[in-house]
Amino acid sequence: MPKIVTIGGLSRLTGVNIETIRYYEREKILPRATRDPGGRRIYREADVKLLNFIHKCRDLGFPLKEIMGLLSLVNAGTYTCAQVHDMTVHHAAKVREKIDNLEKMEAVLLEMAEQCSQGNVADCPIIDTLYIH
């Protein structure tokens, strides 16, 4: 990895969209980049590691507020493995709840689809069900 990269390079190295990087800077999730004499943002290896961390957390569904909380613990050096474990287990429980809700939605949608004759008329039991319920 190069010692410094532009925002485009940071995007390519991390898989994070350039606009998302700018958003993270505005929201102070990612520190503001230094600028080269031409005004381009310049990022260092530590920025790449931090953005990779944030991106992985987001991929796992952690909200930005929780990521920022975790980062503040890490930056202060005050976190314990038990704290991180508890956050992870709590988040996993929220993910399970979302999965359960999605499975219920899937079942309702499939049930509605079963009632559909797929005919070429405007009379549609799916629309009727959505209006009634």
Q: Residues 71, 112: one domain?
A: no
Co-location of 56 and 99 in the same domain: no
Number of folded domains that form the chain: 2
3-state helix, strand, coil in the chain (%, to 5): 65, 5, 30
pLDDT tens column, 63-102: 999 999 899 888 888 888 999 999 999 999 999 999 999 9
User: Using 50, 70 and 90 to split pLDDT, how confident is the model at 1?
Assistant: low
Output the pLDDT for position 112. 84
48-62, 75-89, 115-129: which range is least confident on average?
A: 115-129
**Full domain range(s) for residue 132:** 84-133
Task: Look at the pTM and tell me if it is higher than 0.85.
Answer: no
Residue 75 and residue 96 in one domain:
no
Same domain, 39 and 95: no
User: 41 with 64, same domain?
Assistant: yes
**Residues 60, 113 within the same domain:** no
Percent of the chain residues topping a pLDDT of 90? 68
Q: Read off φ and ψ for residue 34, nearest 5 degrees.
A: -75, 165
